Amino acid sequence: MFSKKQPQRSCIACRSLENWTDLIRTVLLGNEIKVDINHRMTGRGAWLHGKCFPVAIERKAFNRSFKYEGEIKFKELENYLKNLSN
Ligand SMILES: [Zn+2]
């Protein structure tokens, strides 16, 4: 029987491999992180678990993932995660 495997992505913070549906896709637009809810935004994406967000910040995982040296703004992602936990 043919079973279709879900594509997997690794979380930029904890590096564990997950089905991409279990991770949040983010893209960097200018210096702001945008949440790519429908996985339709073009460009390089960074995937992470919602719960790994603090770890990602601590490790500067976004800077590494996007090869971006400056300060990144996370307001949209923060708001998104806040709504998720409500
Ligand atoms: Zn993670």
Q: What is the CA(1)–ligand 1 centre distance, in A?
A: 32
d(CA 38, CA 6): 16
DSSP, residue by residue, 7-43? PEEE-TTT--EEEGGGSEEEEEETTEEEE-TTS---S
Q: Using 50, 70 and 90 to split pLDDT, how confident is the model at 4?
A: confident
d(CA 34, CA 76): 6
Q: Which two tokens stand for residue 28?
A: 């960097």
Q: What is the CA(33)–ligand 1 centre distance, in A?
A: 17
Confidence (pTM): 0.89
Is the separation of the CB atoms in 49 and 18 below 8 Å?
A: yes
Give the pLDDT of residue 9.
95
Q: What is the CA(38)–ligand 1 centre distance, in A?
A: 20
Domains and CATH numbers, the chain: 8-85 (3.30.1230.10)
Q: What is the CA(3)–ligand 1 centre distance, in A?
A: 26
pLDDT tens digits along 11-70: 999 999 999 999 999 999 999 999 999 999 999 999 999 999 999 999 999 999 999 999
Q: What is the CA(70)–ligand 1 centre distance, in A?
A: 23
